Structure 1
């Protein structure tokens, strides 16, 4: 077991709630910072310190004795980012810049950043690799791109590891039902019908267990994984995801027109070449959501939809 201390921002969010227990199980000490807008589902643990705080208050974040930062905090997804652009830039770009600067001054040697696979914008290429141009189209994507650029300027000071994840799917105690696989599965379970807007749009996907395992893999292999990495292993159209759900739940699929041009694919060969291997997929996410719902462990709740919840509780 190790005795490293890891600061995780956005630690009570969808990914953080899965990541933090994994870090604790491996013997890390974890300092978890989050506004807790969506609650706190982390269990108490001797090696866990949970701080209800805002990453924008960088001066109040104590980095003394911290060995590495895993920076997950941001205003997540396009609709939420567009809700209050000023907030989005402050949280997702400015706070990242200030935190990186503080990490450098404190002597922290490792900074892992959760960017987004959507920073490429809409690409025609079948293989969207890390060297393609970034042409973000939403406030969310733009802040991620700017934060990446800022962090890469610190590569002489610390190991900077940037992940561009696909759309995450699967179960978390702090669930999200506004991401494609989770949302379509829940629609089928609660309505017996899936509504697909358009359907031809392709989304890259990654299971929540794989993305959280990847952050730990990067934490433990800083030399092998410095730089920028795509992380998504299944590029699937929305309609095909709906059909995967339909194969497991008796439901109908209704297709309606869409004016959403966003079509994202990513290629993760660079990441696979480091030795990282995913263990799960979209199908396992669908199966796990169905099981949790049928066991009464998962309900269709308003707080699992970021946009609705932020409009109601935060802004």
Structure 2
């Protein structure tokens, strides 16, 4: 199958592309390169790519594509709060235009990377895909809007599926340091402290980047009726833990580290536990990586590749990297690459 992966030079895409290739898929990338050079360890090999901003994709760019895996987005809540109008332009409007272009080009499957954060503040009850969606941030709201608008495009020749990923963790050569487990392990390695700024009580479902990739590959291979306009939570109930419990796993993984729950940022309203049984029943998929395994993997990668404070706090933190590109004149006020327009 010829598969377009948007965001192929991002944290998830860098893990997913080699796994798709190993399954025999022909991969084409699309990425504006915000994080292409943000690498820890050996530089990844990139697939052939379409050189176009996500906001400018047309059906002609998608000729010959069998399936789209849409990962590209401004991908966290601080970014969305900083520039909500740009978040909606990229994450919502451009995503829907991509889905429409894919349909017009005869692409049969549209696999969309949504998020479990669409459930907002759901408390301690396990939420299923049928739970009310209560997004609390522009990032989560944009994901809900894309699900609704892409579903409206579905017909006999165009099957969208919405993979609501739990919070990602695990090593990727294009690392992210601003997601909870990756961040806590990095702080522990660099400072000796596992620092939790909230009170540690919010629930978080987590899933390894490799398990996310396996879920998308499963949806490429699944019967159309299993994915048609379906939403699937991606993760495992084993990894529904409080932030304090996640931090405790980091203390176990990083020798000599200590847990500090400061509470300085106040209570976090984002708290939810997720039910992942629909993916088991409908796709035969279940995530396999545990949080302790991921903490050990990250510790070994950080130490073997020589993670530094400069890289951790700047190069591998999304907001800091984008601010660096803007300050250097590489991005305009709409987050377009200046060099791409030259």
Question: TM class, shorter-chain normalised?
Answer: over 0.9
- Identify the residue that residue 10 of structure 2 maps to in structure 1: 13
Is the counterpart of residue 231 in structure 1 residue 231 in structure 2? no
- Identify the residue that residue 72 of structure 2 maps to in structure 1: 73
Q: Whole-Å Cα distance in 2 between the matches of residues 31 and 299 of structure 1?
A: 32
- Identify the residue that residue 279 of structure 2 maps to in structure 1: 271
- Identify the residue that residue 121 of structure 2 maps to in structure 1: 122
- Identify the residue that residue 169 of structure 2 maps to in structure 1: 169
User: For residues 33-44 of structure 1, what are the structure 2 equivalents within 5 Å?
Assistant: 33-39=30-36, 43-44=44-45
Pairing partner for 1:306 from 303, 318, 342: 318
Deviation at 1:160, TM superposition (A): 1.1
SS at match of 1:130: coil
Deviation at 1:248, TM superposition (A): 2.1
Q: Give the conservation status (yes or no) of the 8 Å contact 2:235–2:287.
A: no
Q: Whole-Å Cα distance in 1 between the matches of residues 44 and 119 of structure 2?
A: 36
Alignment gaps of 5+ in structure 1: none
Q: Give the conservation status (yes or no) of the 8 Å contact 1:80–1:310.
A: no
Q: Give the conservation status (yes or no) of the 8 Å contact 1:130–1:230.
A: yes
Is the counterpart of residue 30 in structure 1 residue 27 in structure 2? yes
Greater helix proportion: 2
Pairing partner for 1:291 from 282, 285, 300: 300
Q: Whole-Å Cα distance in 2 between the matches of residues 297 and 213 of structure 1?
A: 28
**Aligned in 2, Cα 1:236/1:125: closer, same or farther, shift over 3 Å?**
closer
Deviation at 1:58, TM superposition (A): 1.7
Q: What is the RMSD of the two structures over their aligned residues, measured on CA atoms? A: 1.7
Deviations 1:236-270 (A, max 9, x none): 11111111111122212111122422112211110
Alignment gaps of 5+ in structure 2: 327-334, 336-342
TM-score normalised by length of structure 1: 0.93
Q: Give the conservation status (yes or no) of the 8 Å contact 2:234–2:279.
A: yes
Q: Whole-Å Cα distance in 1 between the matches of residues 305 and 173 of structure 2?
A: 13
Deviation at 1:59, TM superposition (A): 2.9
Deviation at 1:279, TM superposition (A): 2.4
Deviation at 1:294, TM superposition (A): 2.3
Runs of 4+ in 1 over 2 A off after TM superposition: 40-45, 50-53, 222-226, 296-300
**Aligned in 2, Cα 1:111/1:60: closer, same or farther, shift over 3 Å?**
closer
Deviations 1:137-181 (A, max 9, x none): 110011000000011112214121100000000000100011001
Aligned length: 310
Q: Whole-Å Cα distance in 1 between the matches of residues 209 and 45 of structure 2?
A: 22
